[in-house]
Structure 1
Amino acid sequence: MATHLITGAGSGIGAAVARRLHARGDDLLLLARDAGRAKELGADFPGARTLVGDLAAPDRLSWALAQQSLPDRLDSLLHIAGIVDLGTIAELTPKVWQSQLQVNLVAPAELTRLLLPQLRISRGQVIFVNSGAGLNAHAEWGAYAASKHGLKALADSLRHEEKPNGVRVTSVYPGRTASPMQARVHQQEGKEYDPSLWMDPESVATTIITALDLPRDAQIDNLTVRPGR
């Protein structure tokens, strides 16, 4: 039975991935921002274990995880959580920049650092769910795209560094996906949200699990998935 630690399992792509892995009997550790959210995730995924750690405060993750029981080995670390706040460079404040960089980049880096010993033992895999914005930046997406471009650099560096240890590293770049985050984006853009126009989170989950289940004689470094409509 494989053991996976997932961030962002509460909704969207993260919830879709967690449901698939839970249904096949894998062992899940679900990171929650606080005890209340951990209780909700525990109810949604019976038998899964929860960890409490706030990605918005990455400098506190080391302390938070030290207070909790971690597995001796970890087969995968799935970074799926993220936040987005749109705005032009002319109007974005340091607080908006910092919040997105903390959650989308610094926290994944810190969480990976803390869990590398368990991943090395199992010769496991780190999957970063990035974004199309991690490859191309557009107007009003500056801060979010910067955090996702940074996430690409993190993944690329980690891949080279951990190859001798047998740890695989994959970046997945989904286009627009029907999710609560997408609804928020449309609200910020002032557009009507029609989820039928965008990818189902289950479709993105399929790509992530494909990379996860690839035989050990191969690896997917980068995987881009776009709406087919």
Structure 2
Amino acid sequence: MTAPDRPVTLITGATGGIGAALARELAGMHSLILQGRDQGRLAALCAELGGASPLTLDLTHPETFEAALADLGRVTNVIHNAGVVELGAVAEQGHAVWTHTLAVNVVAPAEITRLLLPRVRAERGTVVFVNSGAGLRANPEWSSYAASKFALRALADALRDEEARHGVRVTTVYPGRTATPMQQKVRTQEGAPYDPGEFIDPATVASTIRFVLEAPRDATLPDVSVRPGPRGA
């Protein structure tokens, strides 16, 4: 059930590091729809937050989205947080890696946005794309992931101009390296140790996204970068 006086916010990748932190950040102020693939983890998070609605959706199958989203009711904000990464040189990564990465990181956000836009327009809501520093610069071994994030940036930029007349705000958030399970996987692929203290806390990124959602209506925040702060006393 959604409260009529609360915004309704859908978060993809809600059981991951940033997604779960954002769900906890918004709980009690937003009615939440939390997307994930793992029904058990999704149910546990929804139970923890008391009243969040689970949305079990495999982002590699966009043909299933329309039926899955049909009965959601109101949607004010959409936070595209889900993502996958697989490091490797262009000479070594086959088409399966590219296809999977682009499907989850670009095609799924585009299709979910298309299907939910009439509801977001009705609410004069916000679409947030959680991008990456890799969406601004492509480094060696990061080609497939960076390409997907550059494409996600293009999607957001086009959508922003298209939807301004409907009162929909569109923001891209570019977090630096954040202490998440995805980052732990990346560090393993890089052959480097993983120390969460070296990276941004997911709660910090969540607070930034909350700020974007709550910004006064006379402002739009097209691009927001979040970088690690200075270390030491």
Q: What band does the TM-score fall into relative to the shorter chain?
A: over 0.9
User: Equivalents in 2 of 1:13, 1:100: separation in Å?
Assistant: 19
User: Equivalents in 2 of 1:12, 1:153: separation in Å?
Assistant: 25
Match of 1:70 in 2: 72
Query: Please, which runs of 5 or more residues in structure 1 have no aligned partner?
Result: none
User: Equivalents in 1 of 2:199, 2:38: separation in Å?
Assistant: 30
Matched ranges for 1:1-229 at <5 A: 1-22=6-27, 24-33=28-37, 35-66=39-70, 69-71=71-73, 73-229=74-230
- Aligned residues of 1:52 and 1:65 also touching (Cα < 8 A): no
User: Equivalents in 1 of 2:15, 2:42: separation in Å?
Assistant: 9
Shift of the alpha carbon at 1:45? 2.3
For the aligned residue pairs, the C-alpha RMSD in angstroms reads 1.2
User: Equivalents in 2 of 1:122, 1:7: separation in Å?
Assistant: 19
SS at match of 2:86: coil
Query: Please, which runs of 5 or more residues in structure 2 have no aligned partner?
Result: 1-5
- Aligned residues of 1:87 and 1:140 also touching (Cα < 8 A): yes
- Aligned residues of 2:135 and 2:150 also touching (Cα < 8 A): yes
- Aligned residues of 2:14 and 2:82 also touching (Cα < 8 A): yes
- Aligned residues of 1:31 and 1:52 also touching (Cα < 8 A): yes
SS at match of 1:144: helix
- Aligned residues of 1:53 and 1:65 also touching (Cα < 8 A): no
Identity, % of aligned positions: 54
Shift of the alpha carbon at 1:37? 4.3
User: Equivalents in 2 of 1:64, 1:2: separation in Å?
Assistant: 20
SS at match of 2:104: helix
Q: Give the TM-score of the pair, scaled to structure 2.
A: 0.93
Superposed CA offset, 1:33-77 (max 9, x none):
2544442332232211112211122232123333xx211x32210
Q: Give the TM-score of the pair, scaled to structure 1.
A: 0.94
- Aligned residues of 2:15 and 2:42 also touching (Cα < 8 A): no
User: Equivalents in 2 of 1:26, 1:99: separation in Å?
Assistant: 31
The alignment covers a number of residue pairs equal to 225
Superposed CA offset, 1:75-96 (max 9, x none):
2100111110000000001000
